[in-house]
Amino acid sequence: MNKRLNGRPKIGVYICHCGTNIAKTVNMGELVGFASGLNSVGVAREYKYMCSDPGQEMIKKDIKELELNRVVVASCSPLLHEHTFRRACEDAGLNPYLFQMANIREHCSWVTPDPAQATAKAKRIVAAAVVRVVYQEPLEVKKVPVNPNVVVVGGGITGIETALRLAQSGRKVYLVEREPSIGGHMAELDKTFPTLDCAACILTPKMGAVGQEPNIELLTYSEVEDISGYVGNFKVKIHKKPRYVDLEKCTGCGLCWTNCPTNIVPSKRVIRRGDLIINQTEVG
Ligand code: SF4
Ligand code: SF4
C-alpha cells in the first residue's frame, strides 16, 4: 500500500440539504447512493442542516462508532463551515486535517438550475473530494515567529494613507517610493474630484505626518528589487539610488540645482492620450 495513504482509509461522506438550497436541485437520494459506492467510503448519509448541532453530532458519533479515519462533508463553501467541521472531527478524536469539504451549493446547486446536470456535477465534486481526502495527512498546528513589519510600495496618496494608518496602529512601516519625493500624481493636481478640494491642502499635511511618524521609515528614490519568503516572513531587497547629498545636512535650498552641469530632473510621468498610455522621463 502507498505509504502516503496513512493506513487503510475509511471515509464518512455527509451530504447536506441546506434546507432546500441544495436539495431542491440536487437529487439527494441519488447522490448518497453514488457516494456509498465510492472506493474507501464506509458510510454515506444525508441531513437537512449538517452544520447544526445534531448534524455535527452525527459525524462525531460515526467517527467513534464506525472508526472512520477520513471525513467528507458535501455542503457549502469552506469559507463558511470548514472550521466548524474540522472542530467536530477534532472533538471526536480525528486529526482535523483528515477532513475535506466539497462545495455542492455555491459551486453546484446555486449555479446549475437543471436538476439532472446539478446532480451529475455534485457526483463529480463529491467523488473528487473522496479521492483527495485519501491522500491528506494528519497535520499539527505549529506556532512560528512572524515579522509584523510592513513594506508599502508607492508613496502616492494611497501609499501615504496606508503607511500612516498602519504606523498609527503600532506597525513598523517601510514606505518605498521610486521618485525623490513622496506625493505621487496628487502633488501635480490642483483640485480633486468630486468635491474640488485643493489637492495640496489634503496631501501636504499627510506628507508632513509621514516625516514625523516614528514608525515610518521613508525610503525615497528607492525601488523594490526582490521579494522572497512567504506570508509572515517575507524578505524584501530594496535598491536605494545614490543622491550624492547628505540628507541629514541638506536644507533643500536648491542652490545645487542651478549649478548642476547636467540639469536633469528624473521625474517619470504617465501621460494618457485616449487609450494610449505613454511613460515619459522628463529632462529639464
Ligand atoms: S453546512 Fe452549509 S450547506 Fe449545510 S446547512 Fe449549514 S450552511 Fe447550509
Ligand atoms: S545646495 Fe542646498 S539643496 Fe543642494 S545639497 Fe546643498 S543644502 Fe541641499
Number of the ligand closest to the Cα of 74: 1
Whether residue 6 is predicted with pLDDT greater than 80 in this model: the reply is no
Q: How far is the CA of 232 from the centre of ligand 2 (A)?
A: 40
**Grid cell at residue 184:** 505621487
Instruction: Give the pLDDT mean for 187-194.
Output: 90
For ligand 2, atom 6: residue with the closest CA: 250
Closest atom of ligand 2 to 254 CA is 3
* Average confidence score pLDDT of the chain: 90
Domain-embedded: residue 78: yes
* Structural domain containing residue 192: 150-243
Looking at the structure, tell me whether residues 121 and 208 fall in a common domain: no
- Burial string for 221-247 (b: 16+ CB within 10 Å, else e) reads bbebeeeeeeeeeeeeeeeeeeeeeee
Reported as a single tens digit per residue, the pLDDT across 112-155 is 999 999 999 999 999 999 999 999 999 999 998 999 999 999 99
Q: How far is the CA of 92 from the centre of ligand 1 (A)?
A: 20
Report which residue type is found at 214: P
Please name which of 131, 12, 136 lies closest in space to residue 71, comparing C-alpha atoms: 12
Residues 117 and 27: their CA atoms lie apart, in Å, by 10
Looking at the structure, tell me whether residues 121 and 162 fall in a common domain: no
144 close to ligand 2 (CB < 6 Angstrom): no
Looking at the structure, tell me whether residues 124 and 205 fall in a common domain: no
Looking at the structure, tell me whether residues 126 and 195 fall in a common domain: no
Task: Give the Cβ contact number of residue 190 at 10 Å.
Answer: 8
Looking at the structure, tell me whether residues 18 and 119 fall in a common domain: yes
User: Is there a contact between 37 and 51 (Cβ–Cβ < 8 Å)?
Assistant: no
Looking at the structure, tell me whether residues 107 and 163 fall in a common domain: no
Whether residue 197 is predicted with pLDDT greater than 60 in this model: the reply is yes
What CATH number is associated with residue 117? 3.40.50
Domain-embedded: residue 65: yes
Looking at the structure, tell me whether residues 73 and 155 fall in a common domain: no
Reported as a single tens digit per residue, the pLDDT across 18-63 is 999 999 999 999 999 999 999 999 999 999 999 999 999 999 999 9
Domain boundary, last residue among 82, 101, 135: 135
Closest atom of ligand 2 to 259 CA is 1
